[in-house]
Chain A
Amino acid sequence: MKYRLKFKKEDEIKFIGHLDLMRVFQKAIRRAQIPIAYSEGFNPHQLVTFPLPLTLGATSEGEYMELQLTKEMNIEILCEQLNQQLPLGLIILDGLPLLDTSTKGMTIVQGAQYELRYPILLAQSLNWQSKIHEFLNQTQIMIKKQTKTKTQMVNIREGIYCMDGWNAGQRLVLDLFLAAGSRQNIRPEWVMESFLQFCGLPFSASQLQIHRKDLFALKNKEWVSLQHFID
């Protein structure tokens, strides 16, 4: 029995990275006595997967996890039981039973929507709409991608599907729809950094607030939120 749960990650818990978050869920699942399935072998682990890890420090209202259970469970009860065991800032919002044949979320996810906030002095404020227009009109937007062994230059233009921006108080807000998943994954901080650079403004990663709004998959060339997507 497979289920996909949608959850929210906010407050303090945003400082817990992905690996630790998985452990937090594992323990919560046990405490909630959910009939989770285990892998075989000496160190059996719970059959739980996460379609797309969220970077440490980011909040989200559109996170997902997929569980395999040994017994069928009513979705509401499943969510409710788990919610009672989660630490502050983690809330299960919704659930969807999947088919046994369903492809894993991490394989189907292709898009992610983000809202980014970055402090901007009033004096630095620009006409964001037109700047974004110019920014997107470039054929290439190159960023430096750091892996463990090397740095690589990567063109992220193709992966920026939508981009909008406005001022909110002393902040620049960017609404982004980006390529996500195993084929191409655009990190939202790359977009903010290269955009600010394009505008001639400084960037410091620790000032950036990242909020993920949802994850999407493609069905008949239409974007569908993972919350409703079954294949």
Chain B
Amino acid sequence: MNRRVPDEILLQVEKPGRYIGNEINMVRKKKEHIDIRFAFCFPDVYEIGMSHLGMQILYHFLNKREDTYCERVFAPWIDLEKHMRKHKIPLFALETQDPIQNFDFVGFTLQYEMSYTNLLNMLDLAGIPLYSEQRKEEDPIICAGGPCAYNPEPLADFIDFFYIGEGEVMLNQILDLYKKNKQNGGTRHQFLEKLLSVEGVYVPKFYKVSYKETGEIASFIPLHPKAKTKITKQVVEQFDKNHYPSKPLVPLLQTVHDRVVLEVFRGCLRGCRFCQAGMVYRPVREKQVDQLLEQADQLLKATGHEEISLSSLSTSDYSEIKQLMTALVHRYSTKGINISLPSMRIDAFSLELMKKLQDIRKSSLTFAPEAGTQRLRNVINKGLTEEDILEGSKLAFEGGWERVKLYFMMGLPTETEEDLQGIAILGHEIVETFYQVPKEQRGRNIKVVISTSCFVPKPFTPFQWEAQNTYEEFMEKQRLLKTKITKRQVQYQYHDAKLSVLEGVIARGDRKVGQVIYEAWKQGCVFDGWSEQFHYEKWQEAFKITGINPDFYAHRKRNLDEILPWDHISIGVTKGFLKKEYEKALQEQTTSHCRLQCEHCGAMIFKGGVCYEI
């Protein structure tokens, strides 16, 4: 193998194992037999990207094609980047170590907004022009998908096409079109034109946005007869028949999640009103227990991992969670395999499981009430009550547990001082519950950790029209909560709000926001999601230079009839449903989950999953 980075440099950087490939189950192919070379890029470091299930799925999905070689690319950490720039080493793919500049496709997965500067940086390191319109015939086609692609606009000037939805559905068709176009001597423009007929594909250059004087969008117009006015997300309808990698990559380096991951279902029943994933991944589609157990066996054999975990949103909603967990424990707990527990409602069953699987003294109970009062929990439609939490804690304390973690959000719509105080009160009540348990039954010391994050309104949620709190408001609220927490057994953790506000700008940004991202990158911003690498001043400078006002995006309440930057994307769930949910939120009314009562959100167009259960 011709390694791209010489020994001398690798010996000077942190974790050189990030850059050498050669992992177990890495796909090796003969380049001569390949028509399409695909660079799958994760715009963050290796250990994070390699823990990502979506990447594993699509890597093996694409490599099933004989004519395609999909290789992986991660963002080099800043230490290696310096050497790469100094010695003119182009960004390369791990498998062949070839520069990705000459690949056919460079595809990015967009998992969080704060990775966007890394995306630009990777294109630059690869020697690929950043703006779509500057790319020449020989440059790769740059595409992007993943959760953040549901609002593609901030990256619209940089990405040739976006893929909206689950990759397994249309990627093959896209690659077939590409190959045919290439064989016929077609241009990149012709290929992008052909993509207009593929469902779920959005090609920004075929649309024109114009703005009002106020900065709002005046119109969003297709420029090509074939450009669709609505691009509908693609979902796997028969999820239980879906491809799942049976030989996932096993990194040589320790990654964030070093384990077998069973994907139990996609989607979420719950409809929490702040949660984007809960809306965009609808409807719920499950796999069967037998199928999952078979996969568990196969995956453990193929990887040698010593831990297995379940993956989905709100995993305890899996309709056969008890059977699945019982079977996993039965099969593996005596075989040196750790079974990591999904967060579950605390009851006799889950406590029994926890006792089997965890060291009580070391493990925590985790609750995510998200808001401090029942009123606000109704607003956000989080169906967890104070009673659930206190009853659950009591049961657990009687079983010997003595640590509790509570997760909340700050800055939720309609939040008042009372709601913030409610956070402290809940923490205190848990402490009291502990002391109500007879001494001989409970542990020795109770410790409650309260953690708050800052609410970021996201596209395709009922709160997409809401104003986000300002930095000052967040800080004030954190300060207030600190004064309300008076028991020494309760500890409070919070985050700097600057990053959340910036995330708020980009998450609901339009095409203009792309200029800020570009400018921030030019100012030297990369790895913004890493607090020690995050330079707020540089972003402020970028806003100043581009003349773009962040408040317009983060802190402005939108009119319900305003054209939103992502209105041309359809997730199935209708805007009407989101509006109705927004109104119900303001009236503090809850909505029940899909299995209790279908609210006809619009996801039925996908012809599968929970919407069609009887």
Q: Please, which residues of chain A bring their CB within 8 A of the CB of B613? A: none
Q: Please, which residues of chain B bring their CB within 8 A of the CB of A31? A: 24, 301-304
**Is the Cβ of B8 less than 8 Å from the Cβ of A87?**
no
Q: Please, which residues of chain A bring their CB within 8 A of the CB of B22? A: 12-13, 87-89
- Indicate the size class of the contact surface on chain A: 20 to 34
A94 CA / B19 CA spacing, docked (Å) = 30
Partner of A20, one of B8, B253, B302, B306: B253
22 pairs, A vs B, C-beta closer than 8 Å: A12-B21, A12-B22, A13-B252, A15-B10, A20-B254, A26-B306, A27-B303, A28-B304, A29-B304, A30-B300, A30-B305, A30-B306, A31-B302, A31-B303, A38-B336, A42-B359, A46-B336, A57-B7, A57-B11, A85-B304, A88-B22, A89-B22
A15 CA / B46 CA spacing, docked (Å) = 14
A123 CA / B584 CA spacing, docked (Å) = 83
A89 CA / B24 CA spacing, docked (Å) = 12
- Residues of B298-316 at the interface with A, using a CB-CB cut-off of 8 Å, are 300-306
Q: Please, which residues of chain B bring their CB within 8 A of the CB of A16? A: 17, 252-253
A141 CA / B211 CA spacing, docked (Å) = 75
Q: What residue in chain A is nearest B5 (Cβ atoms)?
A: A15
A81 CA / B3 CA spacing, docked (Å) = 29
B250 within 8 A of A: yes
A24 CA / B250 CA spacing, docked (Å) = 9
- Residues of A7-65 at the interface with B, using a CB-CB cut-off of 8 Å, are 12-13, 15-17, 19-20, 23-24, 26-31, 38, 42-44, 46, 56-57
Chain A: minimal CB distance from B27 (Å):
14
A122 within 8 A of B: no
**Is the Cβ of B11 less than 8 Å from the Cβ of A19?**
no
A29 CA / B305 CA spacing, docked (Å) = 10
A207 within 8 A of B: yes
Given A27-B305, A28-B304, A87-B22, check contact A44 B336 (CB 8 Å).
Answer: yes
Chain A: minimal CB distance from B255 (Å):
10
**Is the Cβ of B23 less than 8 Å from the Cβ of A87?**
yes
A137 within 8 A of B: no
A17 CA / B14 CA spacing, docked (Å) = 11
A101 within 8 A of B: no
A194 within 8 A of B: no
Q: Please, which residues of chain A bring their CB within 8 A of the CB of B186? A: none
Partner of A26, one of B10, B12, B20, B304: B304
A30 CA / B305 CA spacing, docked (Å) = 8
Given A30-B304, A31-B303, check contact A24 B11 (CB 8 Å).
Answer: no
A127 within 8 A of B: no
Q: Please, which residues of chain A bring their CB within 8 A of the CB of B414? A: none
Q: Taking A27-B305, A30-B300, A56-B16 as given, write out 6 further A-B residue pairs in contact, using a Cβ cutoff of 8 Å, ordered by the A residue number.
A: A20-B17, A20-B252, A27-B304, A30-B304, A44-B336, A206-B12
A180 CA / B7 CA spacing, docked (Å) = 26
Given A15-B17, A30-B304, A209-B7, check contact A43 B24 (CB 8 Å).
Answer: no
Chain A: minimal CB distance from B92 (Å):
14
Q: Which residue among B258, B300, B304 has the maximum number of chain A CB atoms within 10 Å of its CB? A: B304
Chain B: minimal CB distance from A209 (Å):
7
A153 within 8 A of B: no
A17 CA / B9 CA spacing, docked (Å) = 16
Size of the chain B interface, CB-CB below 8 angstroms: 32
**Is the Cβ of B301 less than 8 Å from the Cβ of A42?**
no
Chain B: minimal CB distance from A211 (Å):
12
Chain A: minimal CB distance from B156 (Å):
39
- Residues of B66-88 at the interface with A, using a CB-CB cut-off of 8 Å, are none
A23 CA / B258 CA spacing, docked (Å) = 10
Chain B: minimal CB distance from A117 (Å):
11
Q: Please, which residues of chain A bring their CB within 8 A of the CB of B302? A: 31
Given A12-B21, A87-B252, A88-B22, check contact A207 B8 (CB 8 Å).
Answer: yes
A91 CA / B17 CA spacing, docked (Å) = 18
**Contact mask for chain A residues 195-227; partner B; CB cutoff 8 A; 1 contact, 0 none:** 000000000011101000000000000000000
Q: Please, which residues of chain B bring their CB within 8 A of the CB of A205? A: 11
Partner of A206, one of B3, B8, B21, B338: B8
Chain B: minimal CB distance from A157 (Å):
27
B385 within 8 A of A: no
Chain A: minimal CB distance from B147 (Å):
30
A88 CA / B95 CA spacing, docked (Å) = 13
A92 CA / B7 CA spacing, docked (Å) = 24
Q: Please, which residues of chain A bring their CB within 8 A of the CB of B1? A: 12
**Is the Cβ of B338 less than 8 Å from the Cβ of A43?**
yes
Question: Nearest 4 pairs between A and B by C-beta?
Answer: A27-B304, A30-B304, A31-B304, A15-B16
**Is the Cβ of B20 less than 8 Å from the Cβ of A15?**
yes
Chain B: minimal CB distance from A71 (Å):
15
A20 CA / B16 CA spacing, docked (Å) = 12
Q: Please, which residues of chain A bring their CB within 8 A of the CB of B12? A: 206
Q: Please, which residues of chain B bring their CB within 8 A of the CB of A46? A: 336
Chain A: minimal CB distance from B558 (Å):
49
- Residues of B455-512 at the interface with A, using a CB-CB cut-off of 8 Å, are none
B238 within 8 A of A: no
A30 CA / B12 CA spacing, docked (Å) = 33
B358 within 8 A of A: yes
A32 CA / B23 CA spacing, docked (Å) = 16
Q: Please, which residues of chain A bring their CB within 8 A of the CB of B250? A: 27
A209 CA / B338 CA spacing, docked (Å) = 39
Q: Please, which residues of chain B bring their CB within 8 A of the CB of A87? A: 22-24, 252
**Contact mask for chain B residues 5-49; partner A; CB cutoff 8 A; 1 contact, 0 none:** 001111110001101111110000000000000000000000000
Chain B: minimal CB distance from A44 (Å):
5
- Residues of B235-252 at the interface with A, using a CB-CB cut-off of 8 Å, are 250, 252
**Is the Cβ of A24 less than 8 Å from the Cβ of B306?**
no
A44 CA / B426 CA spacing, docked (Å) = 36
Chain B: minimal CB distance from A115 (Å):
16
Q: What residue in chain B is nearest A17 (Cβ atoms)?
A: B17
Chain B: minimal CB distance from A182 (Å):
25
A46 CA / B336 CA spacing, docked (Å) = 8
A205 CA / B9 CA spacing, docked (Å) = 11
**Is the Cβ of A12 less than 8 Å from the Cβ of B3?**
yes
A28 CA / B254 CA spacing, docked (Å) = 15
Chain A: minimal CB distance from B21 (Å):
7
Q: Please, which residues of chain B bring their CB within 8 A of the CB of A27? A: 24, 250, 303-306
Partner of A42, one of B21, B300, B304, B358: B358
